[in-house]
Amino acid sequence: MTRSSAHPIPPDKNTALTILSRTEKLSLVRDFVSESARKFGFDEESINKIALAVDEACTNVIKHSYKFATDKDITIRINATTDKFEVLIEDHGISFDPEKIQAPNMKEYLTQYRRGGLGMFLMKSLMDKVEYKAYPGSRNEVRLVKFLPSK
């Protein structure tokens, strides 16, 4: 996780993208987040981790919050400061309690050839900070943060 000085995003730069809740729109999200992280100065490994975490969060919104409805909005906001890159994913679907999600037993998971269910675990392993907030009757928000390494 190194930062290059080639084209850093100014500290007050905030950008957003809104997509419909369709899996075929996830490539737009990955490109948007990757380009923003690249401009911010992250290396390719960090960019890939950020893009994967955001992809996973958006997939969870599509599957669980919107129950595969294809006509709902998902908004992805980038908030860049001098030391952190923050991605906010906002939806208006069904909320959940993240405290009820337990870390998976990977040995058991792999021996049972299970698929899915690793979203929160994956996001937490790829990002420095993952927060979820539900505003009942209003919106849900996933906040993913990646800090710049110390120089």
Model pTM? 0.82
Q: Name residue, tokens 């992805």.
A: 76
CATH of the domain spanning 14-147: 3.30.565.10
d(CA 144, CA 24): 22
Q: Within a 13 Å sphere around the CA of 120, how many CA atoms are in the beta-carbon half?
A: 14
Q: Which residues contact 83 (CB under 8 A, 6 or more apart)?
A: 147, 148
Tokens of 53: 């975490």
Where do the structural domains in the chain lie, given as residue ranges? 14-147
pLDDT in tens, the chain (151 residues): 444 444 444 444 679 999 999 999 999 999 999 999 999 999 999 999 999 999 999 999 999 999 999 999 999 999 998 889 999 999 999 997 656 665 555 455 445 554 555 567 789 999 999 999 999 889 999 999 999 876 5
